[in-house]
Structure 1
Amino acid sequence: MEIYEGSLEVEKITNAWYNEFKDKNCGAFITFVGIVREEGGISALSFDIYEPILAKWLKSWEERAAKENAYVLFAHSKGDVAVHTSSYVAGVVSPQRKVALKLINEFVEDFKANAPIWKYDVIDGKRIYAKERSQAIKGAGLLA
């Protein structure tokens, strides 16, 4: 798990991952890069992360990928990320492309639904919780 302050240096991150795994006899390295879109008057998105739960979430994915001789890789921003820059990079390395293609899709979708990362719009210098574009994390809420 790689957490960075501000926008991600995508090329540096993905090149490091490539160099780490290129000699491990894997035939596929697939990445997904999330780019902050300019919409709704935002100048940036801002992120808060609860790292202990995120580490647990990622560990379960690493174990799942290992059962298919694959690896999942993950980098995310905390704090402000300007429009047209990246806040999220995910990767899957696998001996076979079909496994990598399947896992990257499932990994990114599960991230959107279950990773403990809270998103805010930055408009006119103010952080505004992006409630309409957020999902409740499974199991979150008030205890009875």
Structure 2
Amino acid sequence: MKTIIRVQMEAFSVGDEYERLTHDPDCGAVVTFTGLVRDLPHAAIQALELEHYPEMTERMLQGIADQARQRWSVRGITIIHRIGRLTRNQPIVFVGVASAHRHSAFQAAEFIMDFLKTRAPFWKKEETSDTCYWVAAKASDQRAAKRWEQDSAQ
């Protein structure tokens, strides 16, 4: 099965993406993650503006998928990330991994999301009723990605 990478403004269908991942007869597990625009703990989000570095973003996402394939036995990978202006409850990102076994699918999906959050060149601006600001990288995301580096050293 192949790797599908898309960066797009348009919404995607989680059902359609899941269906594509299940077409391999050797596939015994499919793990998916869908990230949504949500309110902040301290303010309601009006919108989220996502920008990226064209071509470099796709290459980086492909590299992340390739690393996941080197670490785990996976049959298929789909990574979709939206750009543009999104409002509350709209999907931002989809990661799907198909594998013969659940462990590989879960691990690869988590690895992809952790590295996507820290390595892919996306920029996010949050708009609330009071203000608008670019979101800084989170230390918790950096720690999550760093643990995979430690895992590979063992």
Q: Please state which band the TM-score falls in when normalised by the shorter chain.
A: 0.7 to 0.9
Question: Mapping of 1:61-140 within 5 angstroms?
Answer: 61-67=64-70, 68-124=73-129, 127-131=132-136, 133=138
Paired with 2:48 and 2:78, the residues of 1 have a C-alpha distance of 22
Q: Is the 8 A contact 2:68 2:112 kept in 1?
A: no
Task: Quote how far apart the aligned CAs of 1:126 are.
Answer: 6.8
Paired with 2:59 and 2:17, the residues of 1 have a C-alpha distance of 21
The two structures have a TM-score, normalised by structure 1, of 0.77
Question: Mapping of 1:7-86 within 5 angstroms?
Answer: 8-9=11-12, 12=13, 14-25=14-25, 26-39=27-40, 40-67=43-70, 68-86=73-91
Paired with 2:57 and 2:77, the residues of 1 have a C-alpha distance of 14
Task: Quote how far apart the aligned CAs of 1:88 are.
Answer: 1.0
- For residues 11-52 of structure 1, the C-alpha deviation after alignment (integer angstroms, 9 at most, x for no partner) is x2x222233232312011111111111122421111001132
- For residues 91-111 of structure 1, the C-alpha deviation after alignment (integer angstroms, 9 at most, x for no partner) is 111111110011111111111
Unaligned runs of 5+ in 1: 137-144
- Is 1:4 the counterpart of 2:5? The answer is no
The letter of the residue matching 2:53 is: Y
How large is the RMSD of aligned CA atoms in angstroms? Answer: 2.5
- For residues 46-103 of structure 1, the C-alpha deviation after alignment (integer angstroms, 9 at most, x for no partner) is 1001132221112223333444243221111111110122111111111111100111
Q: What is the percentage of aligned positions where both structures have the same residue?
A: 20
Q: Is the 8 A contact 2:74 2:105 kept in 1?
A: no
SS at match of 1:43: strand
Q: Is the 8 A contact 1:46 1:127 kept in 2?
A: no
Distance verdict in 2 for CA 1:52–1:19, change over 3 Å: same
The letter of the residue matching 2:32 is: T
Distance verdict in 2 for CA 1:69–1:123, change over 3 Å: closer
- Give 1:139's aligned residue: none
The two structures have a TM-score, normalised by structure 2, of 0.73
> Which consecutive segments of 4 or more residues in structure 1 shift more than 4 A?
124-127, 132-136
Unaligned runs of 5+ in 2: 143-154
Distance verdict in 2 for CA 1:132–1:98, change over 3 Å: closer
Task: Quote how far apart the aligned CAs of 1:132 are.
Answer: 6.2
